[in-house]
Amino acid sequence: MRIHKEGRVTLLVAAFLVVLLNYAALKFYPVGYLIYPLSAISIIIYLLILWFFRVVERPVIHDGNLVIAPCDGKVVVIEEVTENEYFKDQRLKISIFMSPLNVHMNWYPVGGKVLRAIHHKGKHLKAYKPKSSEDNERSTVVVETEIKQQILFRQIAGAMARRVVLYAEEGEFVEQNGNLGFIKFGSRVDVYLPLSSEVKVELNQKTVGTQTVLAHL
């Protein structure tokens, strides 16, 4: 299992804390019934963090007419909304919620030219709340596809997620299912589509990043 570069420092710090905690427990409370459960719990927590930062290798889809899931998770919203930041008109929004156990790598749902790539500071409300799209720490990326369709997507930090990492840069050309970024510890990704898009997923459906087709343009 490979570890994502965004997790290397976190895992080093976590490993140091696990060793320090177990050393302190052994030194000041050298009683078997305390040190063994403490060691087991700390190791399990470390393994969960390790699992969170795993890198997955999957066959990818390249189709300019399709919008592919940018992350693993569950579809929690499919609705027509007003997108106020960039388009300022009606769009079809699909939201995918990621639990802490999901892979937290993010991929480009479409390929093309990046027209907008910006990171917004903000709050850390629970990611499933509607207001998190506007109030939480988040990124906004707009990509114009080969067929001249503009797709907007947002990485949104949640109550547990404390950092959104975005690799996109305005003006560059990106490949569908290329590496978009990473969100640390629980979060959500919103995808805004033209109203003419044909949705291919349902509410509460589980998604697999780079694999699940969200919509046909």
Q: Which helix (H) or strand (E) holds 39?
A: helix 32-52
- Residue 35: count other Cβ atoms within 10 Å of its Cβ: 15
- Residue 148: count other Cβ atoms within 10 Å of its Cβ: 7
- Residue 122: count other Cβ atoms within 10 Å of its Cβ: 15
Of 116, 108, 127, 109, residue with least CA distance to 184:
127
Q: Would you name the residues annotated as active-site residues?
A: 187
Alpha carbon distance 91, 101 (integer Å):
30
- Residue 168: count other Cβ atoms within 10 Å of its Cβ: 23
The tokens for 27 are 């030194």
Are the C-beta atoms of residues 192 and 90 closer than 8 Å to each other? no
Alpha carbon distance 135, 217 (integer Å):
29
